[in-house]
Amino acid sequence: CLDIIADCGSDQVCMTVEVTSNVVCDTVTLYPGLNLISFDVQPGDPSLESIFADQILDGSLNAVFGRGPTGGIVIFDPLLIPFPGLNTLTEVEPGKGYYVRIYTNADTSDVIVCGDPIDPNLKVALNATWNIVGYIPQVSTTPEIYFEDLYGPPVPPVDILQLARGFTGGTSGTFQFFDPLLVPFPGLNSLTSIDNGFGYEIRVTQAVSEGGWLIDPNGDEKVFQPFVSDQYTVVAATSNLSDKYVGEFVSILTPNGKIVGEMEILPGGLLKTCPIYGDDTYSKQKGVAEGDWLYLEFNGEIIPLGLQYSSDRLIHFLDVTFEGENAVTGVNDLQQEAVLSVAPNPFTSTLLMGLDLPESAQVTISIVDAFGRIVEVP
């Protein structure tokens, strides 16, 4: 109420004002195992630590996976929270989808996100590779309708979309596929509905700007795209590298010396999280072979990573030790005083090696061939 007082008297005016909020809430159910989800609201605090606070607190959240600006895998692992810089996925973005892995021994739970509603017409920009997109509208649709701008029906036809797939969720969940080439054959595509709350992994041949996914089919939108695939593992590490190397990179190598990833050196010797990709299931582009041992190289020093490649889609947090001048403690005289004996010489198929050290120390012995390639030792 407002009191109005003047020389000639006073009066009181009262009004009822109804204040409405634009904030809405979205509820997404997480099942034990793998989930492919999206949100239709953008929370005030979009951090993964806030959105999945309940699942982090009860220990049920294993990891969250997304795709970064160039299509590469980015991750959030609650166990990496104490290590600044190792979680490469920190916030949810409007219109994107995410893989969420819940421990299989956990209970089903809900993620409730409150915030501003996202425009249901939003379609995020796509990289010329794999992408994970969300579906914002409340009403379900079909893949033929939702993806029609990516594969038809303009003349000449657009053939950007190669594959779309969803996941039903949980330990017994299955992938469902939509291939535009199978549209003329009813019943062959197992992905038949696009629904709110779910995410969808799609592979396109051409980068597309954010909006309605409408581009000039005669235009050349192709740009350089680093190799990524749908098969991968992820590594992060602690090391004994000095802070003087912060900002430099440690290379990840295969046994034949091919560089398949780079880990940025962070303060405290942390090696930044890096995805390593295997063969792409759709394009058949070659990545790291299953079972290949992986190595690290920095300043000419090569050490075993202690990991065999597997497309397990897991995060491996390792500890590695460099020797010599790369290490925090610097160089000592160990290399000069150590005595390595090898017999017979020249080598045969059976080799006996002995190493005498003047003091107790952790050492690594690598055997290389004439081309400098590391020889696997059973």
Spell out the domain ranges in the chain: 24-204, 232-326
Structure tokens at 345: 């010489």
Exposed / middle / buried, residue 246 (Cβ in 10 Å: 0-12, 13-18, 19+): middle
List, in sequence order, every residue forming a beta bridge with 10; answer none if it has no partner.
5
SS3 for 285-343 is CCCCCCCCEEEEEECCEEEEEEEECCCCCCEEEEECCCCHHHECCCCCCHHHHCEEEEE
pLDDT digits (tens, 9 = 90+) for 57-66: 999 999 999 9
* Nearest Cα residue to 149 out of 56, 213, 245: 213
Q: Are 250 and 297 in contact (CB under 8 A)?
A: yes
Q: Provide the residue type at 106 as one letter.
A: A
Query: In degrees rounded to 5, what are phi and psi of residue 7?
Result: -60, -30
Q: What is the distance between the alpha carbons of residues 186 and 235, in angstroms, rounded to a whole number?
A: 42
Q: Are 365 and 352 in contact (CB under 8 A)?
A: no
CATH of domain 232-326: 2.60.40
Q: What is the distance between the alpha carbons of residues 292 and 309, in angstroms, rounded to a whole number?
A: 5
| β 232-238/271-277 pair status | antiparallel
Q: What is the distance between the alpha carbons of residues 122 and 38, in angstroms, rounded to a whole number?
A: 13
List, in sequence order, every residue forming a beta bridge with 64; answer none if it has no partner.
76, 100
pLDDT at 373: 56
Count the neighbouring beta carbons within 10 Å of the beta carbon of residue 106. 17
* Nearest Cα residue to 52 out of 67, 40, 68, 39: 39
Q: Is the Cα torsion angle 213, 163, 94, 77 positive or negative in sign?
A: negative
DSSP 239: -
Q: What is the distance between the alpha carbons of residues 191 and 168, in angstroms, rounded to a whole number?
A: 10
DSSP 153: S
Q: What is the distance between the alpha carbons of residues 53 and 303, in angstroms, rounded to a whole number?
A: 38
Query: In degrees rounded to 5, what are phi and psi of residue 152?
Result: 155, 175
The segments of the chain whose pLDDT lies below 50 read: 155-156, 216-223, 329-336, 370-372
| Residue partners of 226: CB distance under 8 A and separation at least 6 | 70, 71, 72
| Residue partners of 86: CB distance under 8 A and separation at least 6 | 77, 80, 236, 266, 270, 272, 273, 317
pLDDT at 218: 42
Q: Provide the residue type at 270 as one letter.
A: L
pLDDT at 294: 96
pLDDT at 171: 84
